[in-house]
Amino acid sequence: MREHGELRISFGSCRRSPGTVEEYGHDALTAFADRLRTGGEDTVWPDVLLMVGDQVYADELTPQMREFISGRRAPGSPPDGEVADYEDYTQLYKLAWHDDPAVRWLLSTVPTFTIFDDHDIRDDWNTSYTWRREMWAQPWWKARITGGIGSYWIYQHLGNMSPQDRASDPVFEAVRAASEETGDAGAVLDAFAEKADKQPETMRWSYAHDWAARA
């Protein structure tokens, strides 16, 4: 927060992962990070970075992601050309945020908040009851939706919460307990993710933060 009470927010959405320059052009998030990192004293920094949806594309894959998937399952295995489970999602986030040094630096430097949109899960996600019935009729959908929501909870949602809310969150507590007891909280996270999808009233993804001017 600037001394005169002004909050400067940089925001964007629908980011295409690196590796798609020919189709979509240069990555604005990488360019923004480079401008902040290499700019001089007159560079205007944001107080907050807000990324408002489609951080990753689970249904439109880059060549790097297709190569990763080809090492895990046979060509044409459903869902063909899309991520299938939690393991695929971890690689998707790795390519989007870790393997780009500029973006990795940016996220470690500027306070960042996110929210998902349809492509983080699948195009037109939850647009209708008919759509939901069709998806749950697919034998691969359970692993996909639990992987998508579970990875979102780890990679995005936890960072949106305040330290106090995170410490008191029952899912966070259950995941930590399972990790300490068995070293694997996968079953806990899968059960939470499935319930969050089938009973959306049990989970709230929205959040709010207040910024007060410095004294």
Q: What is the pLDDT of residue 15?
A: 87
* Distance (Å, whole) CA 133 – CA 195: 15
Q: What is the pLDDT of residue 2?
A: 57
Segment 26-35 mean pLDDT: 91
Segment 60-81 mean pLDDT: 94
Q: pTM of the predicted model, to two decimals?
A: 0.92
* Distance (Å, whole) CA 193 – CA 143: 10
Let me know: does 10 contact 79? Beta carbons within 8 Å.
no
CA-CA-CA-CA torsion sign (91, 92, 93, 95): positive
Residues 84-142 have pLDDT tens digits of: 999 999 999 999 999 999 999 999 999 999 999 999 999 999 999 999 999 999 999 99
* Distance (Å, whole) CA 85 – CA 82: 10
Q: What is the pLDDT of residue 16?
A: 72
The SS3 assignment for 40 reads: coil
* Distance (Å, whole) CA 98 – CA 83: 18
